[in-house]
Amino acid sequence: MKIINDFVSQFDASISFDKTRIIKSGNRYYYLSRNLKENVPKGFFYIGEYLGTEKGESFFPSFILLEKIAETKANKIIIDKKTAWLFICGRDIFRKGIITGNSVKKGNFTLVLNENNECLGFGKLIMNLRGVPDSKEVAIKNILDLGDFLRREKRQSQKKYNRTAKKN
């Protein structure tokens, strides 16, 4: 639980989870509805809302958790359409693609939202945003974006391909 709170606080945010409904299975954290908590037996592979995975001292969030953080007053920036597309393709964000945001300080973690206020992922500010509106330099380093759903599947099928190749 602490590892989730620590992760959320990096966005200058906090979420008040019902602690009794967060469960850890292996190194993965899930948030359960009351119905799931009351009705579902142990031994599951996946349950409810997946929040993220703990690896050593690091925490890898799910998009569900990022969306929950985006519902609070967290560090966020909103980017234009073209930048949003490039971001979910794994690219970093140039200053000129940022429309607005409450996160301006170099070193901050920030959620990245599109013009519909939908969370596309998160990144780290690598420059102060104040005073350089037209800079063509990278302002936000992409850490995680929605395109990861597709990249995961690609990695998975690559693994499968490698296993088959090894057998043959």
Partner 1 sequence: MGWDFKEVKLKQSIRINTMNEKKSLVISRLESLGVDLEKIPFLKNGFWIKRSNFSVGATAEYLLGLYSIQEAASQIPATLFNKLENKIVLDSCASPGGKTVQLANLMNNSSVIIALELKKRKMFALTNQLERCRVKNSAVYNMDARKVSKLNMNFDCVLLDVPCSGNPVSDRQWFNRRTSEDILRNSRRQRQILTEAVTVTKNNGEIVYTTCSLEPEENEFNIDWAIKTLNVKVENINCYGKKGLTKIFGKKLHPSIEKCKRIWPDVTQGFFLCKLKKVAQK
Q: Which positions lie near partner 1, rule CB under 8 A?
A: 33, 35-36, 39-41, 43-50, 62-64, 67, 84-85, 88, 114, 118, 120, 146-147, 149-150, 152-153, 156, 160
Q: Which is nearer to partner 1, 6 or 153 (CB)?
A: 153
Of 31, 66, 83, 62, which is closest to residue 148 (Cα–Cα)? 62
Q: Which is nearer to partner 1, 3 or 36 (CB)?
A: 36
Q: Which is nearer to partner 1, 35 or 58 (CB)?
A: 35
Give the nearest distance from C-beta 98 to partner 1 in angstroms.
17
- C-alpha distance from residue 110 to each of 14, 43, 48, 65, 73 (Å): 14, 36, 26, 14, 11
Give the nearest distance from C-beta 144 to partner 1 in angstroms.
12
Q: Which is nearer to partner 1, 74 or 88 (CB)?
A: 88
Give the nearest distance from C-beta 77 to partner 1 in angstroms.
16
Q: Alpha-carbon torsion 92, 117, 80, 108, what sign?
A: negative
Q: From the centroid of its chain, how far is CA 44?
A: 24
Give the nearest distance from C-beta 37 to partner 1 in angstroms.
10
| Identity of residue 146 | L
Q: Quickly tell me which residue has 């890898």 as its tokens.
A: 60
Q: Which is nearer to partner 1, 49 or 54 (CB)?
A: 49
Give the nearest distance from C-beta 47 to partner 1 in angstroms.
4
Strand partners, 98: 79
Q: From the centroid of its chain, how far is CA 143?
A: 8
